[in-house]
Structures are given as C-alpha cells and as structure tokens.
Amino acid sequence: MTKLTLGSHPFLLGFEQLERMVERTAKTGNDGYPPFNIEQASEHRYRITLAVAGFTEDDLSITVEERQLMIRGRQPAEDEGRVFLHRGIAARQFQRTFLLADGVEVSGASMENGLLHVDLKRAVPKAEVQTIRIGKAYQKEVSDV
C-alpha cells in the first residue's frame, strides 16, 4: 500500500510547496517557550500573544519570510555581579515560528504588561469566475517529401 501525501494526491494540484512548508515548520525548535495564545478576533482577524516577561521591545524581532512568521527574543547578558538565590524567571533567547496561509498578513504588533501581541489579518479574496475557451488541438503538419 502506497502512502498518499498532500503533494501527491491527484486532486490537489500545486500544493507541493505547502507540504514542504509544513515539514519545515514541524522541524523548527518550538520547545514551549515562551508560552503563547492564538485567538480569533473576528472572522478575518487573528492575534498571537506571547508571554515575554523581562524582554523589552528592543530585545524582540518579528519577521515574515516565505509565509513563515518568526518571532525571536534575545536579552543581553546582565548577570555580572548579580547573585541569584533562586532564578525562576527565564532569561533565555527564543525563536517561535508560525506558518501563515496565503493572504494572511501581519497588521501590527504591540507590547503590554509583558505580553507581545502580533495582529494578523486575512485578505478576503474576491469571488471570481473564469471562463475557459475551448480551442482546437495543436496539429502538426506533415509535408510529403
């Protein structure tokens, strides 16, 4: 029995790239830090919220490349001369990756009370009907020699 993948299904033409993106996203090192929420704000708007206590806006970067939203956090080492009796607040760098569907774009980002909010919007495609004209098949002319 042959395993059917998304890119090889006969009714899904041109989805090979989607399968590669899903595989690439699954391989990224999302280890659960920082914790996050994803909420649907309306029919076409979403919000990703990450708990980034201790990070400043300058410590964070948000990029979108090839439909991947990447949020990175890196804090400068300021532990010199400090002695911790207990260290329960994580101060490590992170990278969190989200795969965006076609038409989904980042509309903004904000920080509030140690939470990073990344707002997304999905463009509503116009309903479009395309009529394809049927032409004659290409016929190669053969000349008698």
| pTM score of the predicted model | 0.69
Measured between alpha carbons, how far is 55 from 111 in angstroms, rounded to an integer?
10
Domains of the chain (ranges plus CATH)? Answer: 32-77+90-124 (2.60.40.790)
Residue 5: pLDDT band with limits 50, 70, 90: low
User: What are 65-85's pLDDT values in tens digits?
Assistant: 988 999 999 987 776 788 889
Q: Where are the beta strands (DSSP E) in 5-92?
A: 36-42, 45-51, 60-65, 68-73
Percentage of the chain modeled with pLDDT above 90: 47
Distance of CA 72 to the CA centre of its chain: 13
Measured between alpha carbons, how far is 27 from 91 in angstroms, rounded to an integer?
24
Q: Is 21 helix (H, G, I), strand (E, B) or coil?
A: helix
Residues 102 and 144: beta-carbon distance below 8 Å: no
